[in-house]
A and B are shown apart, each in its own frame.
Chain A
Amino acid sequence: ILNVEQSPQSLHVQEGDSTNFTCSFPSSNFYALHWYRWETAKSPEALFVMTLNGDEKKKGRISATLNTKEGYSYLYIKGSQPEDSATYLCASLPSGGYNKLIFGAGTRLAVHP
């Protein structure tokens, strides 16, 4: 994998459903993986920065896991709420990358009441 890829591109779920989506990134020269939540007309909000293989981080109902050997990260949302509706971005930071993040195109989540 040369680029950062996110799937699915968009997702519609009902309130209360749990959901997850995927970020795939180059596993070579990996340093860190960043997740952001981006609501319309607002600034992207930093969720997690993950560096170690097997890392798992949690913030409220949102959690993320990291597999650096195979180059993927999963983001999970438990019991989705309408306020979780946003675009979720992941970005890879290669080692020696001068802090330059390489972004995926995002997963657009819509949670319906």
Chain B
Amino acid sequence: GAVVSQHPSRVICKSGTSVKIECRSLDFQATTMFWYRQFPKKSLMLMATSNEGSKATYEQGVEKDKFLINHASLTLSTLTVTSAHPEDSSFYICSALRQGETQYFGPGTRLLVL
């Protein structure tokens, strides 16, 4: 299978600061990546679709100014949680679409905002 890395695996930050999470496809190029959020015992909820070279597409109810997505290359997408607050504490996970196959996932990032 394909390999997707995600960094950092966990981060603790103070309220009001910004946090950047990186998602990399290591052995294939991905024009499309996805960012999900998961609350305890809940489904993975799609936040946005990250498109290389163009603006991300956000799902309804997801604040684009709060969750900035940049997909500057075919192997890297970043999610920046701006001015983080305790309610942003969650598990964030990315995936990269390998055309003709499926989405390959990173291991996720656990964010705790104090």
The A contact surface, by secondary structure, is loop
> Closest residue to B1 on the A side, CB-wise?
A46
CA distance A34 to B107 in the complex (A): 18
Contacts of A99 in B (CB 8 A): 32, 34, 49, 97, 103
> Closest residue to B108 on the A side, CB-wise?
A43
Asked if B97 contacts A105 (CB within 8 A), the reply is no
Question: Is A76 in contact with chain B by the CB < 8 A criterion?
Answer: no
Asked if B102 contacts A41 (CB within 8 A), the reply is no
The B contact surface, by secondary structure, is strand
Shortest Cβ distance from residue B13 to the other chain A in the assembled complex, whole angstroms: 21
CA distance A46 to B42 in the complex (A): 19
A45-B1, A46-B1 given as contacts; is B103 within 8 A of A101 (CB)? yes
A43-B4, A46-B1 given as contacts; is B44 within 8 A of A103 (CB)? yes
Asked if B103 contacts A43 (CB within 8 A), the reply is no
Question: Is B56 in contact with chain A by the CB < 8 A criterion?
Answer: no
Asked if B107 contacts A43 (CB within 8 A), the reply is yes
CA distance A91 to B42 in the complex (A): 13
CA distance A81 to B49 in the complex (A): 36
Q: Mark A31-52, 1 if CB is under 8 A from B, else 0.
A: 0001010000111111001000
* 6 more A-B residue pairs beyond the given contacts A41-B107, A98-B57, with a C-beta to C-beta distance below 8 A: A43-B105, A45-B1, A46-B104, A99-B34, A99-B49, A99-B103
* Residues in A lying within 8 Å of B, measured CB to CB: 4, 9, 34, 36, 41-46, 49, 89, 91, 98-106
